[in-house]
Amino acid sequence: SQQGEEDPQALSIQEGENATMNCSYKTSINNLQWYRQNSGRGLVHLILIRSNEREKHSGRLRVTLDTSKKSSSLLITASRAADTASYFCATDDGGTGNQFYFGTGTSLTVIP
Amino acid sequence: DAGVIQSPRHEVTEMGQEVTLRCKPISGHDYLFWYRQTMMRGLELLIYFNNNVPIDDSGMPEDRFSAKMPNASFSTLKIQPSEPRDSAVYFCASRGRRYGYTFGSGTRLTVV
């Protein structure tokens, strides 16, 4: 299946540090998205990057995409305790792009 | 907009009972998705609808699972009969023209 994999599974950093999470996927895609999930809540859409884009920024978030390596990274700069959550990448299967497959997630803990 | 609304938030039922989960998508969104999340399997796409029509139900685990979308503002996911291995958090998400999903807060189902 197209389900992606995030790396690392868990990450613990000090407040103010940068956090980098990686996502690998298997087949060609049209788009890749990143989501955040706070404990006990639904997923919240963070950012979408298209297959013809290599980098995208949104506030303290920076996403890169390398389609040749079938991988993406999410960088959170100057992390805050409120960034503590699980982060998921989601990819389509390169077809209609109507359905997305979620990775296994990275659990980020930001220590105040 | 109140976002995607799911009910109930928590459901505890006995094995063999029928369970019905409900979802109200965001008005104007023409795609609706049902996901199941467990620690072991992560987020699994069960079924999705476009304009109230089921498009892909290949993720529905067994015939015990069924989903309907009688109109643009309401969908149900039914499990009959329920089994302990169905215990999970079930999410509904909707999507409009933009690719980002909006997730509900989920229904935590426990089958004892």
- The per-residue pLDDT for A95 is 75
Closest CA to B77 of B41, B48, B38, B99: B48
Q: Which residue has the higher pLDDT, B101 or B106?
A: B106
Whether residue B104 and residue A45 make contact (CB cut-off 8 A), yes or no, is no
Looking at the complex, does the CB of residue A97 fall below 8 Å from at least one CB of chain B?
yes
pLDDT band at A40 (very low <50, low <70, confident <90, very high): confident
Where are the alpha helices (H) located in chain B, listed in sequence order?
Answer: none
How many Å apart are CA A75 and CA A106, to the nearest integer? 12
How many Å apart are CA A51 and CA A49, to the nearest integer? 7
How many Å apart are CA A107 and CA B79, to the nearest integer? 30
Task: Enumerate the residues of chain B whose CB falls inside 8 A of the CB of residue A103.
Answer: 42
Nearest Cα residue in chain A from B89: A40
Mean pLDDT of chain A: 92
A93-110 pLDDT per residue, tens = 777 767 788 888 999 999
Nearest to B103 among A43, A99, A104 (CB): A43
pLDDT band at B40 (very low <50, low <70, confident <90, very high): confident
Q: How many CB atoms lie within 10 A of CB A87?
A: 23
How many Å apart are CA A16 and CA B3, to the nearest integer? 32
Long-range contacts of B63-69 (CB under 8 A, 24+ apart): B67/B34, B69/B32
pLDDT band at B1 (very low <50, low <70, confident <90, very high): low
